[in-house]
């Protein structure tokens, strides 16, 4: 066209229109960036831009493609120039899908700035294009116009890209379809913004109470959790400040430090007390964050808090359970020891004597057994109340457990004589209070108590020493009878020192000075059926020490754990040796298991590990449990027994009839054997009650499918009686005393 000629009107209008469209696109992008923090305006502008964008592109292309044939010769070139310079991501492809024209935006969006892809096949550039999009290309080449407002595309690097696209054909001057034009816009940032807004909205309506204020502190918005916690509705707090929640428990300095932290760090967190609408003051954990603009100026404050009321209550409950008896609310043993330590320190400072009174309720078990635990509990609660009434405010009353109470009395004077007199007066006052008639549920009960007393002063002794002395004095009281008061004296001190010395020796003796003896067990035909392993302590200076002397000591000191483990391991190895050397396939060894040993968390694993290392057959190892094991947690006992039973071990209930003897647990436990205690066997022929108990145990075993073995059989008369009434196994001096492993093998196993 010559310079003097006027441009074609259609072309002029089209170019003006395209310039207007380009200006509007740039303006809308500028507005979007300007108002990016306004979610509603952002959405509205974006939507308007998108609609106008597609409309302008379509209209511009339509105008270009419908110019008169005179201009169509140059329209393709014009279209290419438009596409190459368009602010949108546009690609013009021929019918074979080779690139004819590409916009700079397309090249940048797809990371192709450093490549020349004109003439290159579209799928060579984008081999990852899915089949569904290839079908779109085929349909567009057939004349269709296809579009999608939101589609996802997985890139080769695994990144998911969200796009808005339109694919339409373009025509040659003769009307034939020359190829397709692809419009694509990456809207991943919009999807991400949308996701962030959803997350923010969800977070705002979380279980955590939240509020948002402006820069002046006036509340703009609260969530439902805020209303549930404080009792204030959103309408009631709008325009108010958080000061509406102040409890009055914090002074001005507290709030000054808070706001200084917010001003410098733009954040603060800590525990604070606030007030609900109903006036209730409650604790909360508060977080405050300041929101700033691009210039760093604070525009809003966001507060979030958690109600700590239940947490505080739980803490108080845990503290109470840790330090106080649940039934009487008196200090438990843990807090008692702490208070005794404080009393010792006080005595050291003041030179004053103190005393610890160990109080045991006489025959309390009879009340529990005959009247039930409810009456027993009420009795203990009343006794606790009476004890508190008998002492001064500085003294301590504790319940370490069961029917035992301990009183710590301080400031009894600087001489032991005066302290003894004052301590006895306190003990007598306590006894008098306890003797008063006790009325529970309309019934009257007479209660008595025995009291052991141990004096202390800070310069000598430890908490452990004082507790041991009080315990020894209590044992002496019980030997004297009921309703007595007993001081710890020199003889008790000597016995205590001997006990401490013996404990130290036993600690060093395990396992070098220990050995096992075995006592034969026979069946009804007199044949050996097994043996019981019995531990002995051979002290070089004193020889063999009776188990009655050191087993209770081992129980009290905790040494029963290493001792019991040694017994179990030694017996298991001996069982394997006898099986290998004598072929005693039906022969078993019984091992006594203490309650402390059984209640170890890894007891089952210990037993299985010992059996595996020794090579012994689990089916020929019998664990003897006493009834005391069952008193703490029958369910836990049953679970452990069942686990070991599944591995082949057998169980015997030792000393049956002397303890709890409840039929309920016999049905729940996987027992194999009941063992009649020797105390019933001893007077079998002379005590009708013992004979009746023996017959009952045998009949019970037969009913429950359990074997019954009697221990302590020493006479033929006892054996005949037991055999006559169906007892299946026997153990006692009539058949043999406990002997060493070598003597046992020589005496019994070679003939087996």
* pLDDT value for 397: 93
- The H or E element containing residue 429 is helix 416-435
* pLDDT value for 24: 56
**Measured between alpha carbons, how far is 508 from 342 in angstroms, rounded to an integer?**
33
**Measured between alpha carbons, how far is 97 from 82 in angstroms, rounded to an integer?**
19
Any idea which residue has 């430890």 for tokens?
462
Any idea which residue has 């050191």 for tokens?
550
**Measured between alpha carbons, how far is 621 from 617 in angstroms, rounded to an integer?**
7
201 pairs with which residues across the strands? none
User: Which residues does the chain have with pLDDT short of 70?
Assistant: 1-82, 84-87, 155-158, 192-207, 316, 319-321, 458-460, 489-497, 584, 631-632, 657-664, 750-752
Q: Residues 71-79: contacts with CB within 8 Å, 24+ apart? A: 71/8, 71/10, 71/11, 72/173, 73/173, 75/173, 76/172, 76/178, 79/170
What is the DSSP secondary structure assignment for residue 124, as one 8-state letter?
Answer: H
Q: Which of 429, 409, 428 is nearest to 419 (CA)?
A: 409
Angle between helices 416-435 and 373-390 (to 10 degrees): 140
**Measured between alpha carbons, how far is 421 from 429 in angstroms, rounded to an integer?**
12
Average pLDDT, the chain: 82
Angle between helices 9-34 and 39-65 (to 10 degrees): 160
**Measured between alpha carbons, how far is 154 from 682 in angstroms, rounded to an integer?**
89
Contact 658, 675 (CB under 8 A): no
Contact 325, 343 (CB under 8 A): no
**Measured between alpha carbons, how far is 430 from 383 in angstroms, rounded to an integer?**
10
Tell me the C-alpha to C-alpha distance, in Å, between residue 547 and each of 227, 551, 554, 625: 70, 5, 10, 17
Helix/strand/coil for 413: coil
**Measured between alpha carbons, how far is 666 from 672 in angstroms, rounded to an integer?**
10
End-to-end CA distance of the chain: 128
Residues 6+ apart with CB under 8 A from 663: 700
**Per-state percent for the chain, helix, strand, coil, to nearest 5:** 50, 25, 25
Q: How many CB atoms lie within 10 A of CB 294?
A: 6
What is the DSSP secondary structure assignment for residue 231, as one 8-state letter?
Answer: -
Q: Which two tokens stand for residue 720?
A: 């005949």
Q: Which two tokens stand for residue 262?
A: 């917010």
* pLDDT value for 47: 56
* pLDDT value for 398: 92
Angle between helices 490-509 and 463-480 (to 10 degrees): 120
* pLDDT value for 1: 38
How do residues 533-560 score in pLDDT, each as one tens digit? 999 999 888 888 888 888 988 887 889 9
DSSP E strands, 99-157: 99-102, 146-154
* pLDDT value for 109: 79
**Measured between alpha carbons, how far is 752 from 747 in angstroms, rounded to an integer?**
9
* pLDDT value for 416: 77
Ordered domains of the chain (ranges, CATH): 9-193 (3.30.450.20), 205-312 (3.30.450.20), 327-488 (3.30.70.270), 510-749 (3.20.20.450)
What DSSP assignment string belongs to 272-340?
EEEE-TTS-EEEEEEEEEEEE-TTS-EEEEEEEEEE-HHHHHHHHHHHHHHHB-TTT--B-HHHHHHHH
**Measured between alpha carbons, how far is 110 from 545 in angstroms, rounded to an integer?**
91
* pLDDT value for 513: 93
Contact 702, 683 (CB under 8 A): no
How do residues 525-534 score in pLDDT, each as one tens digit? 988 999 999 9
Q: Which two tokens stand for residue 365?
A: 């078990």
* pLDDT value for 198: 63
- Altogether, the residues listed in the chain come to a count of 752
Q: What is the pTM of this model?
A: 0.45
* pLDDT value for 36: 47
Helix/strand/coil for 436: coil
């Amino acid at each position: 066209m010559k310079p003097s000629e006027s441009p074609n009107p259609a072309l002029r209008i089209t170019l003006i229109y395209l310039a207007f469209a380009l200006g509007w696109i740039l303006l809308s992008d500028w507005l979007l960036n300007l108002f990016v923090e306004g979610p509603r305006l952002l959405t509205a502008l974006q939507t308007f831009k998108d609609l106008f964008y597609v409309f302008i592109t379509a209209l511009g292309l339509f105008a270009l493609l419908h110019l008169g044939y005179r201009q169509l010769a140059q329209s393709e070139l014009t279209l290419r120039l438009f596409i190459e310079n368009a602010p949108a991501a546009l690609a013009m492809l021929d019918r074979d899908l080779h690139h004819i024209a590409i916009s700079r935006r397309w090249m940048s969006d797809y990371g192709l700035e450093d490549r020349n892809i004109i003439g290159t096949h579209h799928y060579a550039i984008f081999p990852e294009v899915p089949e569904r999009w290839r079908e779109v290309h085929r349909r567009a080449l057939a004349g269709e116009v296809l579009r999608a407002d939101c589609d996802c595309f997985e890139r080769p690097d695994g990144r998911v890209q969200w796009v808005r696209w339109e694919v339409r054909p373009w025509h040659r001057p003769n009307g034939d379809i020359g190829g397709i034009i692809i419009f694509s816009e990456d809207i991943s940032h919009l999807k991400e913004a949308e996701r962030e807004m959803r997350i923010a909205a969800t977070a705002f309506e979380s279980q955590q109470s939240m509020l948002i204020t402006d820069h002046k502190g006036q509340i703009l918005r609260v969530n439902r959790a805020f209303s549930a916690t404080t009792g204030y509705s959103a309408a009631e707090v709008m325009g108010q400040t958080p000061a509406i929640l102040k409890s009055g428990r914090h002074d001005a300095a507290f709030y000054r430090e808070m706001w200084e932290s917010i001003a410098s760090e733009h954040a603060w967190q800590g525990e604070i007390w606030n007030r609900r609408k109903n006036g209730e003051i409650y604790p909360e954990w508060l977080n405050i964050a300041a929101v700033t603009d691009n210039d760093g100026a604070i525009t809003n404050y966001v507060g979030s808090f958690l109600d700590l009321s239940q947490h505080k209550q739980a803490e108080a409950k845990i503290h109470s359970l840790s330090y106080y008896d649940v039934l009487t609310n008196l200090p438990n043993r843990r807090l008692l020891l702490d208070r005794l330590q404080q009393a010792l320190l006080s005595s050291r400072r003041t030179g004053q004597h103190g005393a610890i009174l160990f109080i045991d309720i006489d025959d309390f078990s009879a009340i529990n057994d005959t009247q039930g635990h409810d009456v027993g509990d009420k009795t203990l609660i009343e006794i606790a109340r009476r004890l508190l009434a008998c002492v001064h405010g500085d003294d301590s009353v504790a319940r370490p457990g069961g029917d035992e109470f301990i009183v710590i009395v301080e400031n009894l004077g600087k001489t032991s004589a005066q302290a003894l007199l004052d301590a006895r007066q306190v003990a007598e006052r306590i006894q008098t209070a306890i003797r008063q008639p006790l009325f529970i549920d309309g019934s009257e009960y007479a209660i008595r108590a025995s009291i052991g007393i141990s004096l202390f002063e800070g310069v000598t002794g430890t908490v452990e020493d004082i507790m041991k002395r009080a315990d020894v004095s209590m044992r002496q009281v019980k030997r004297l009878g009921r309703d007595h008061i007993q001081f710890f004296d020199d003889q008790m001190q000597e016995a205590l020192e001997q006990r401490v010395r013996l404990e130290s020796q036993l600690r060093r003796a395990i396992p070098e000075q220990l050995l096992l003896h075995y006592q034969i067990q026979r069946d009804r035909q007199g044949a050996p059926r097994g043996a019981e392993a019995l531990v002995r302590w051979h002290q070089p200076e004193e020889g063999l020490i009776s188990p009655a002397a050191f087993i209770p000591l081992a129980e009290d000191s905790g040494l029963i754990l290493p001792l019991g483990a040694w017994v179990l391991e030694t017996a298991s190895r001996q069982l394997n040796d006898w099986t290998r050397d004598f072929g005693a396939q039906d022969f078993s060894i019984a091992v006594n298991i203490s309650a402390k040993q059984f209640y170890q968390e890894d007891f089952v694993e210990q037993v299985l590990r010992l059996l595996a290392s020794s090579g012994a057959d689990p089916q020929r190892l019998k664990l003897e449990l006493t009834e005391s094991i069952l008193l703490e947690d029958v369910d836990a006992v049953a679970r452990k027994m069942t686990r070991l039973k599944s591995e082949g071990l057998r169980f015997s209930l030792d000393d049956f009839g002397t303890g709890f003897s409840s039929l309920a647990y016999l049905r729940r436990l996987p027992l194999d054997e009941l063992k009649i205690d020797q105390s019933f066997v001893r007077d079998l022929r002379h005590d009708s009650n013992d004979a009746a108990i023996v017959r009952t145990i045998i009949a019970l075993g037969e009913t429950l499918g359990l074997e019954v073995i009697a221990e302590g059989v020493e006479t033929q008369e006892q054996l005949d009686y037991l055999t006559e009434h169906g007892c299946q196994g026997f153990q006692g001096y009539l058949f043999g005393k406990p002997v060493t492993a070598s003597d046992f093998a020589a005496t019994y196993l070679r003939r087996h």
